[in-house]
A and B are shown apart, each in its own frame.
Chain A
Amino acid sequence: MKPIELRRHNEIIAFKAEDDSITAYHAYNLEVAEISPESFAQMTPIAITDGAIPDVKLPGNDEEKEAFEALSEWNSEVNPNAKSGKLEFGIRTINLNINQICNLKCVYCAAGGDGTYGQPTNKINVEKTLPQLKFFISSLSPGQKFRIIFIGGEPLLHPEAILAIYNYAQEEAAIHKIIPIMSIVTNGTLLEGRTLEIVRSMKIDVKISLDGPKEINDIVRPTKNNTSSTDMTLAGIRELNRDRGNITSFNLAAVCSARNPEALKTYQFFRSLNPDRMEFHFESTEKSSETQRIYLEQMSLIAEEAWNNGGEKELRKILQFDQGFQVLDSQTRIENYCGAGKTYLMVDAKNKLYTCVWAAGDQSEVVGENEQLDHDKLAKYAKPLIELNNCQTCWARHACGGGCMYINKANNGDKHKKDNLFCERTRNLLLVTLSYYKKARTAE
C-alpha cells in the first residue's frame, strides 16, 4: 500500500492509496478518519518534504462549501481523549556501556567506528556502577519503571559484570518498589557456554544486531580481523531459540544502507529466525535521497508482506510500524523523540553521564559522573524536542516527537537543525502506518 497524493488543511492531512481510498489524520487530535473525495478535493496538495501549513484553498460552489466546512469543523474540534505527552524530569532509562571494546568492526559503527567511542575501556567498574544505580533507582517513586539497556562495545564480552549489575538492580528495585525492565543489545556472536547460561538466567529483552543473510551481513558486520561473523551470530540465535530460558523477548535489529538496500529480503530472513520483534533502521548518517527512496519502498513492501502474513499482529512486530500504532491507540501527543536529558541518560564504561547513547566519549557532552548530575547542563534539554527543534507546524510532530538530535548534529552540525531526510523518512513511514491503522481498526 503506497500512499500517494498528499494534501493538507491546517492540522489535517489526507492521502490517497493506490486503491483510491482516502485516509485522513488530524495531527493534533491524533485521529484517523476516512474522508469523502469532495473534502479531499478541498485540501491543498503538499510535498512529503513540507512541514509548513499551506494556504487554505477556498471553496467555490455550495457542494464545495459543505465539504470544506466539514474539514474546518473537524480541524477546530478538540479531542478530549488526546493527552499531552509532556515529560517531567526524572531518569527512568539508562544505557550502560559494559565495556568499550568489540569483537566486530561494523562499517557503520556509530561508537567510534570500532565500539570504543575513541576510548577503549575493558570493563565497567562494577563497584562504581552499583551506587550509581542506587542513586537513579532511589530517585524514582514506587510503581515507576526503571529501564537498563546493557550495551557497549560488545556487552557479552563481560557477562559476569552484566549479571552482577542485573542482580543488584533487581534487588534495589524491589526495595524501592520500582519495576525493573532490562534489555541487552548484542551482536550475538558470543551466545554459548557460560555466557549463554547467564543470558538465559535473566528476565531480559535480548536484541541482536544482524543485517541480513550471510552474504550481506558479512560485508557490513565483519569481525575486527575482517573475517565472517554471521555463522557465529546464527549459531547463537539457534542456541537461544532452542531454549530461551527466562528471557522476556528475542528481537532482531538491522541497519539498512546503500550497501544493504534489500530490507524485504532481510525481513524474510528474519522471519525464519522467529524473533518477537524486528527493527529496520536507516543508516543515520546516510545522505543519499536515492538510498532513502529505496529504503522507503522496501519498508512499504515489508508492511504489505507482514500484513498478508498475519495482519496487525505481524505488522506490529516491526518497530517502525508499531510506534505509530502505539501513539494512535494511546492517544498521547508525543513531544519528544527521545528522553535525552529528561528521562534518559547514557552511562559510559567510566561511569560518565551523557544525554545520548552516541555521545559517549565526547567531553563536551558530559552531563555528570557517578552520582553527580550537572543540572545546569541538563536544563538545556528541559523543553520539549518539538519546540527545541522547531517542529510546531509539522503534521507528523506528535507521532515523531521532534526528531533525533544525534542525527541532526551528525548531518547538519547542530543538534536542533532538522535533518530533511529524517523528516521525510518519518513522515513516509507514518503514512504507511496510518493506512494500515485504518485498515486494522475498520476491520474490528
Chain B
Amino acid sequence: MKKHIKKIKPNTELAGPGKGGDPKEPCGPVA
C-alpha cells in the first residue's frame, strides 16, 4: 500500500524564546 502521508518531526529542542529578543508580546501569538 502506498504511503500517502509522511509526517515531519518537529525540533522541540529549538522551541521556546531566548534567541535574542522575545517578541511575543504585546502583539503576536502568546501561550
A, B from the same assembly: yes
- The residues of A with any CB-CB pair to B shorter than 8 Å are 24, 30-36, 38-39, 66-67, 70-71, 74, 81, 85, 87, 93, 95, 147, 149, 181, 183, 205, 207, 248-249, 251, 276-277, 279, 316, 319, 322-323, 325-340, 343-344, 346, 356-357, 399-401, 404, 437-438, 441-442, 444
Select A329's contact among B15, B20, B21, B30, beta carbons within 8 Å.
B15
What distance in Å separates the Cβ of B6 from its nearest Cβ neighbour in chain A? Answer: 5
What distance in Å separates the Cβ of A185 from its nearest Cβ neighbour in chain B? Answer: 10
CA distance A336 to B16 in the complex (A): 16
B6-31 interface with A by 8 A CB criterion: 6-12, 14-17, 19-31
Chain B residue numbers with a CB within 8 Å of A24 are: 5
CA distance A372 to B2 in the complex (A): 62
| A276 pairs with B21, CB closer than 8 A | yes
Known: A31-B7, A330-B31, A339-B30. A277 touches B25 (CB 8 A): no
Chain B residue numbers with a CB within 8 Å of A149 are: 25-26
> Interface size bucket, B side?
20 to 34
| B25 pairs with A316, CB closer than 8 A | no
Closest residue of B by beta carbon distance from A85: B31
Chain A residue numbers with a CB within 8 Å of B25 are: 93, 147, 149, 338-339, 343-344
CA distance A59 to B22 in the complex (A): 46
Known: A38-B4, A329-B14. A319 touches B22 (CB 8 A): no
Chain A residue numbers with a CB within 8 Å of B26 are: 93, 95, 149, 338-340, 344, 346, 356-357
Chain A residue numbers with a CB within 8 Å of B17 are: 326
What distance in Å separates the Cβ of B22 from its nearest Cβ neighbour in chain A? Answer: 7
Select B8's contact among A33, A147, A336, beta carbons within 8 Å.
A33
Chain B residue numbers with a CB within 8 Å of A323 are: 24, 28-29
Known: A93-B25, A326-B15. A442 touches B31 (CB 8 A): no
Known: A38-B2, A87-B31, A357-B26. A444 touches B20 (CB 8 A): no
| A248 pairs with B27, CB closer than 8 A | no
- The residues of B with any CB-CB pair to A shorter than 8 Å are 1-12, 14-17, 19-31
| B30 pairs with A32, CB closer than 8 A | no
CA distance A333 to B9 in the complex (A): 16
Chain B residue numbers with a CB within 8 Å of A357 are: 26-27
CA distance A344 to B27 in the complex (A): 10
| A251 pairs with B21, CB closer than 8 A | yes
| B20 pairs with A249, CB closer than 8 A | yes
| A338 pairs with B15, CB closer than 8 A | no
| A33 pairs with B6, CB closer than 8 A | yes
| B12 pairs with A331, CB closer than 8 A | yes
CA distance A81 to B12 in the complex (A): 10
| B15 pairs with A331, CB closer than 8 A | yes
Select A330's contact among B16, B20, B22, B27, beta carbons within 8 Å.
B16
Select B27's contact among A276, A329, A338, beta carbons within 8 Å.
A338
CA distance A352 to B25 in the complex (A): 19
| A36 pairs with B4, CB closer than 8 A | yes
Chain B residue numbers with a CB within 8 Å of A181 are: 22
Select A248's contact among B1, B20, B31, beta carbons within 8 Å.
B20
What distance in Å separates the Cβ of B12 from its nearest Cβ neighbour in chain A? Answer: 6
Chain A residue numbers with a CB within 8 Å of B21 are: 183, 205, 207, 248-249, 251, 276-277
Taking each of A34, A38, A74, A442, which has the highest tally of chain B beta carbons within 10 Å of its own beta carbon?
A34
What distance in Å separates the Cβ of B9 from its nearest Cβ neighbour in chain A? Answer: 6
Closest residue of A by beta carbon distance from B14: A329
CA distance A441 to B13 in the complex (A): 12
Query: 28 A-B residue contacts at CB 8 Å?
Result: A32-B8, A35-B4, A35-B5, A36-B2, A36-B4, A38-B2, A39-B5, A71-B4, A87-B31, A93-B26, A95-B26, A251-B23, A277-B20, A319-B23, A326-B15, A326-B16, A326-B29, A329-B12, A331-B10, A334-B31, A336-B30, A338-B27, A338-B30, A401-B29, A404-B27, A441-B10, A442-B8, A444-B9
